Amino acid sequence: MRTAPHLTRRALLAAAAASVTTGIATAAAAPSQTSAAPRSLPAAAFAGFRTAGRVKRAADGSVQYTWPGIAFEGRFRGTGVGIALDDSVNDYDIQIDGTTVGTLVTPGRTTSWVKDLTDTEHTVRLVKRTESPWAVGRFGGFLAARGGKILPAPAARSRQIEFIGDSFTAGYGNASGTRDCSANGGVDRNSNADLAFGPLTARKLDADYQQNAFSGRGMVRNYNGGDPGTDYRTYYDRALLNVDGDVWRKPRDWRPQVVVIGLGINDFSTPLHPGEPWTTQSELITAYTNAYHGFLDKLRTRYGSRTFLVVSATLVAGTAFAETARDIVRERNAQGDDRVSYWYYDDPGLDRLGCDWHPSLHDHRIISGLLDQHLATLPLDW
Under a CB-based contact definition with an 8 Å cutoff, are residues 67 and 82 in contact? Answer: no
Burial of 178 (0-12, 13-18, 19+ CB in 10 A): middle
In sequence order, what are the beta bridge partners of 311? 261, 342
Under a CB-based contact definition with an 8 Å cutoff, are residues 352 and 177 in contact? Answer: no
Which DSSP string do the residues of 175-233 spell out, in sequence order?
T-SSS--TTTTHHHHT--GGGSHHHHHHHHTTEEEEEEE-TT--SS--GGG-STT--HH
Which DSSP string do the residues of 161-174 spell out, in sequence order?
EEEEESHHHHTTTT
In sequence order, what are the beta bridge partners of 64? 56, 138
DSSP code at position 357: G
Catalytic residue among 62, 112, 132, 167: 167
Task: Please tell me the distance from the alpha carbon of residue 367 to that of residue 66, in angstroms, as a whole number.
Answer: 25
Residue 211 C-alpha from the chain's centroid = 3
Strands 308-314 and 340-345, by their bridges, are parallel
Rg over alpha carbons for the chain, rounded to the nearest Å, is 20
Q: Which residues contact 272 (CB under 8 A, 6 or more apart)?
A: 225, 278, 279, 280, 281, 284
- Nearest alpha carbon to residue 189 among 28, 304, 24: 24
DSSP code at position 269: S
215 carries an active-site annotation: no
Task: Please tell me the distance from the alpha carbon of residue 111 to that of residue 17, in angstroms, as a whole number.
Answer: 28
Catalytic positions? 167
